[in-house]
Amino acid sequence: MAGQAGSRRLNRTKPTKRLSVGRLLLVVGLIAFVCGTGLVTGFVITALKQLDSPAFADLRPTVRLSSQVFDANGKLFAELFAEENRILVPLKKVPIHVRNAFLATEDATFYTHHGINPKAILRALYVILTGKGFQGGSTITQQLAKNAFLSPEVSLKRKVQEAFLAIEIERRYTKDEILEMYLNQIPFGNGAYGIQAAADTYFNKDVSQLTLAEGAFLAGIIQAPSAYDPYTRFSAAKQRQLTVLNQMVKFGFIQESEAKAAAAEELKIVKKKSFQQDRLGAYFYDYVLSYLLEKYGAEKTYNGGLKVYTTFDPAIQEKVDAAVKKVMDSAYPMKEGQPYPEAAVVVIDPHTGYIKAMLGGRTHTKLLGLNRALRPRQPGSAIKPIIDYAPAIELGYSPGNAIDDTPVTFPEYNNWSPSNYSHTYMGLVTLREALVRSLNVPAAKLLYQIGVKTGVDYAIKMGLTTLVTSPKNGHTDYVPSAALGGLTEGVTPLDMATAFGVLANKGIKNEPVAILKVLDADGNVLEEHVPKPKRVLSEQTAWTVTNMLEGVINLPYGTGTAANIGRPAAGKTGTTSDYRDAWFVGYTPDLVCSVWIGYDKDLTMEKDRVTGGTYPARIWRAIMSAIPAQRKDFPQPQGFIRVKICKKSGKLPGPFCPAEELTDEIFLKGREPTETCDVHVMALVCAENPSELAGPFCPTRVAKVFIRRPQAYDRSAGVPADASQELPAETCHIHTGAPSALPVPPALPTPEPSLGG
């Protein structure tokens, strides 16, 4: 009974209620919801905390802007960028049909939403959470947030951050401001970022000139720039353009007829732009880029949005390129695997120092590669006007001064003995003739007379920056051989143009200039060229040397007659003794042009005997003849007079000066000669032995005119062309005994007073 009673009590206990499946799911769901909400909330809070930094303070994209280089005409010459080629443009400059192409493709409801499209976001989240991949669903504002502020990772966290930033951007900016930032931010492939860079890269156009077809084409690229690369996958990009046009029709931006017309329009994709290829002004570009990198650094140069205004003249550069190609390709075709002579050219406006054109080689294949316009080479005789004649004229010499072209040795300079190109000597000549004929010995003597240091220092003042004045490997350029271009390192074509520019610009030097002004991205002036002309020669000296150098081109015995352009011009040839370098540097009243040719390697042009008067002079003539210019003379300053002189003495004609030795010469008033010629003398010679003076026993004596040299020379080293005119030093050795009836010697004739003019 007791057991039964206990059992009954047990049975009276309330039975346990079973939890139904539905309730179980509800409980689990509630728990999951609470936990999930907490997790999501924590996740969102964590994601948003990462946006709480100064980088997101104003939510305005910090973009890398390409720098722009403009030519002398203010036209865009080049763009500088490392990875992102981007040029900012205001929205008003982007045509409506181009804007609509992007709206139809990327965000048709852009002007109605508040930064995000909830339906698109939920759809994207569903795809991500179900592991079915990744879907965008981003509005234009979200894309701006992603490209401008977030990392490229693909994750739920980034989508949350993207949405938040989009809403905040919409709160701070107008729709037009957002669209402008977006169009300037998005990548288009091939280094083009933003709609302006894309228009220029693919169509060589300003964005304002884009057609509907071109705008739709660009709008299609941004979905996948590599998949729709116009250079490698044009067909795919073209197909994508049709999709964009259809979207524009779908959303009412254009009519179907407009879409068909745009689809049928031929797209002219331009070639990839690269200064690593041979193109107009590539070496000038290198010169400017080197300067910018050195002064501003790579980041600011490539990404700082600099605007660089230069002196580059594309029209002149075209003439330079064409002339070099015409002359050099004919003489020395470029054959792969075989060395060939190179060329360098610099054209400068001497009145400003502006570099108008620069060629550093016959081809340009490497960015910032070897620029021969800046590379020192031996100048040969091209240096003579700068280091010899200009300093001498400045110090009081005149073109009519005589100098003796006879053998000479300089004991204090290792017994150096210069020789002329022809290995002959002319004897007594004027400075004008010595320069026009490019005689080496008179140039060396002249430098020695004025002082080697004086000549070198003047050359430096005129613009030669590579002359060595402090011992370098035991050598300096303070040596007489510098008169002939025998230098430690040489000179550059740019420096030679600068130095000759002093002569062309009335004795005033202007430093060579390539950059006129640099602005930063905000339009602030970072630097601006301020002319600093400096007088280094008198105007009279500059004109005198110019007048002498005109003869190099115009006189029949000048070394640069191949450079004659039929209008006033002056210049000088230069050839090294081993034919490794050949130069012609010349100028008109408007421009200076320096031309050099030679091998890069240790080779010579001796086989063809290439001198400065051959190919360099022809290149110079081709360039200067092609540049439009008015015919005008070099303006002569006041103070000059013209005087008749004897060429052998540089003095007023004496009673015995032959007519053929007389010439009219210019002198700065006060420097004209006042003494008469003492070089031409008359003496009696034996009629039977006219090479010796008459002795007391010579039966017949005749009077003859001779020259009496100011100084003796070493006849064993060579005799000059006028040696036969020298006054004999010996008396007749034939007639040494007294004849039975010695005739009365004739008296020396009395000279006519008018003989000397």
347 φ, ψ (degrees, to nearest 5):
-120, 130
Structure tokens at 266: 């031929």
Taking alpha carbons only, the member of 302, 226, 289 closest to residue 63 is: 302
Q: Which amino acid is at 714?
A: D
Asked if residues 698 and 688 have their Cβ atoms less than 8 Å apart, the reply is yes
Structure tokens at 151: 């990392």
CA dihedral 713, 714, 717, 721 (to 10 degrees): 40
Asked if residues 389 and 545 have their Cβ atoms less than 8 Å apart, the reply is yes
Residues in the chain: 757
Token look-up 């590579």 returns: 466
Asked if residues 322 and 328 have their Cβ atoms less than 8 Å apart, the reply is no
Spot the catalytic one: 106, 170, 180, 692.
106
Give ∠ CA 77-90-305 in degrees, rounded to 5.
Answer: 45
| Active site (annotated) includes residue 66 | no
Asked if residues 481 and 435 have their Cβ atoms less than 8 Å apart, the reply is no
Spot the catalytic one: 381, 438, 481, 649.
381
Chain-centroid distance of CA 599 in Å reads 20
C-alpha 547/C-alpha 557 separation (Å) is 15
C-alpha 553/C-alpha 534 separation (Å) is 28
Say which DSSP state 386 is in: I
Q: Which amino acid is at 736?
A: T
Instruction: Reduce the secondary structure of 71-89 to three states and give it as a string.
Output: CCCCCEEEEECCCCECCCC
Return all residues near 371 (Cβ < 8 A) that are at least 6 apart: 283, 286, 287, 344, 358, 360, 361
C-alpha 330/C-alpha 125 separation (Å) is 70
| Active site (annotated) includes residue 168 | no
Q: Catalytic site residues?
A: 106, 381
